[in-house]
Amino acid sequence: MVSSNSNNGLSNSFSSEITNTTLDLAIDYAEVGMDEFLDGTLKEIPFVKTLYSLGKIGYSIKERFFVKKLLTFLQEFHSKEIQVDKLIAFRLKFETDRKYKEKVVENLLVYTDTFLNIEKAKIFANLFRSYINEIYDWKYFLGLADCLNSININAFDFLKELSEIDYEISETPENRKLPRNGEKEALLYSCGIAYERSSWSSSFNISQVGKDLYEYGIKN
């Protein structure tokens, strides 16, 4: 069982990485093999070294995969620009409002831990960056995170196809730009971002949450 001091240490270390990262952003951590977390190179990264000291990295695949997702999230988050004024405002609130800081760090860690695919850690970072850029508020960000957690990764390519036709498929011959595909559509129904306009409609549509998940997360 991990002690509360260890969890606090993880939160503090991770929060520091959000505002001032020590990572080498040239490294694609998503491509790093999990066995490499046991060698001398990665262990010398300050953030990773801290996690070792807290007992967050061991020989289990689950522990190493969690750290890999954290590194991937941080690398992706810091690799793209955030509007300067928005970043300054976020950092000020993050550093001065303890409850806000705890809320942000807790949710970032919990969601990252739940992802079963490394690609979702990257998408999550893009969504968080858009939150800081004030594209949407915190509650909406958490809604997007819930959708990301539940969506099947095989639906990503289908969302891309739908984005190219304004996210709607219609059986009307003159409007048909993409054929109906029940198997692909089911992937989007299952995570709550697809709907039909009415019981009389033959069109397949994507909700605003689904569109934003693609535009601000997957597409980036």
pLDDT at residue 1 in the model: 37
Q: Which residues pair with 151 in a beta bridge?
A: none
My answer on whether 63 and 118 are in the same domain is: yes
Which of these three, 116, 142, 168, is where a domain ends? 142
Give the C-alpha distances (Å, rounded to integers) separating 145 from 70, 71, 168: 15, 18, 23
Domain endpoint, select from 78, 111, 142: 142
Judge whether 47 lies within some domain.
Answer: yes
Please check whether residues 169 and 128 belong to one and the same domain. Answer: no
The reply to whether 62 and 127 lie within a common domain is yes
| 148 assigned to some structural domain | no
How many folded domains does the chain comprise?
2
DSSP string across 124-146: HHHHHHHHHTTSS-HHHHHHHHH
Question: Domain end: 142, 161, 191, which one?
Answer: 142
Cβ-proximal residues to 41 (8 Å cutoff; 6+ apart), any chain: none
Which range of residues forms the domain containing residue 158? 153-218
Burial of residue 4 (number of CB atoms within 10 Å: 0-12, 13-18, 19+):
exposed
Say if CB 30 and CB 119 are below 8 A apart. Answer: yes
| Helix H or strand E segment including 195 | strand 194-195
- Residue 2's pLDDT is what? 41
135 and 167 co-located in one domain: no
Phi and psi, residue 169, nearest 5°: -120, 130
pLDDT at 13: 87
Q: Is 209 within the bounds of a domain?
A: yes
Question: Is 147 within a domain?
Answer: no
Low-confidence residues in the chain, pLDDT < 70: 1-7, 37-41, 55-59, 171-177, 197-202
pLDDT at 22: 85
Its pTM stands at: 0.89
DSSP string over 13-63:
HHHHHHHS--S-TTS-GGGS-GGGGGSHHHHTSHHHHHHHHTT---SSHHH
Question: Tell me, what's the pLDDT at 176?
Answer: 58
| pLDDT score, position 131 | 98
